[in-house]
Amino acid sequence: AGLSSSASLEVAVGTVLQQLYHLPLDGAQIALNGQEAENQFVGCNCGIMDQLISALGKKDHALLIDCRSLGTKAVSMPKGVAVVIINSNFKRTLVGSEYNTRREQCETGARFFQQPALRDVTIEEFNAVAHELDPIVAKRVRHILTENARTVEAASALEQGDLKRMGELMAESHASMRDDFEITVPQIDTLVEIVKAVIGDK
């Protein structure tokens, strides 16, 4: 329901100031400044993903991002592929939304495993003790673990030009966001079903 317009604006302003005043800032540092503005002044405890893709995105490429190291890898899109953006007309805001709640739930999950972040937990470790977690937190943790795995596999699928697998992964991702992370809205769910009816999981 959003296209990261706030992150784009933050990076645009940061880039203008960097060039105007010849500041010693690279794209990652500009992205971090944008994230800090969002965290400290807007009140949204967002991550760094949106700012990084705005700052370091490359034409005709997806960007695989390591949000801990800020390392990135440009992944070439297969030739002849078009990315279609569909406007759901659903208006949302991150501040006052469930964003901060989801973050707190994920941090609760990480503390349960005594890890700094859920990326340090394996799916096997989770499955072994999932029943001990609060059911809601368990759903959030499962989404993060499976989504991280899907993201890495999606980059590989794109590199190999395997659009069928990419479509399957995107369908799995939406189902996980809907059922485990519970962040979709009826308008988006309907659009996904319409697209699947027209082209399938392609």
Tens of pLDDT, residues 53-79: 999 999 999 999 999 999 999 999 999
**How far apart, in whole angstroms, are the C-alpha atoms of residue 142 and residue 131?**
12
User: Catalytic: 50?
Assistant: yes
Domain boundaries, the chain: 1-76, 82-202
Residue of 26, 50, 162, 179 with catalytic role: 50
**How far apart, in whole angstroms, are the C-alpha atoms of residue 96 and residue 169?**
30
1-76 matches 82-202 in fold: no
pLDDT score recorded for residue 97: 67
Cα atoms in the 13 Å half-sphere on the side-chain side of 117: 8
Q: pLDDT, tens digit, for every residue of 189-200? A: 999 999 989 876
- Token output for 146: 């499976």
pLDDT at 9 over 80: yes
118 to each of 21, 59, 63, 86, 138, how far by Cα in Å? 39, 31, 21, 31, 12
What CATH number is given for 1-76 in this structure?
A: 3.30.230.10
What b/e string do you get for 70-97 counting C-beta neighbours within 10 Å, with b at 16 or more? bebeebebeeeeeeeeeeeeeeeebeee
pLDDT score recorded for residue 93: 65
Q: pLDDT, tens digit, for every residue of 12-59? A: 999 999 999 999 999 999 999 999 999 999 888 889 999 999 999 999
Please state, rounded to an integer, the average pLDDT across all residues of the chain.
93
pLDDT score recorded for residue 31: 98
- Token output for 118: 């859920």
Q: pLDDT, tens digit, for every residue of 87-122? A: 888 887 665 568 889 999 999 999 999 999 999 999
pTM: 0.90
* 23 conformational bin, left if phi > 0, alpha if psi -120 to 50, beta if neither: beta
- Which residues, 6 or more positions from 123, have their beta carbon under 8 angstroms from its beta carbon? 145, 146, 149
65 membership: H or E segment, kind and range? strand 61-65
pLDDT score recorded for residue 96: 56
**How far apart, in whole angstroms, are the C-alpha atoms of residue 3 and residue 93?**
11
What CATH number is given for 82-202 in this structure?
A: 3.30.70.890
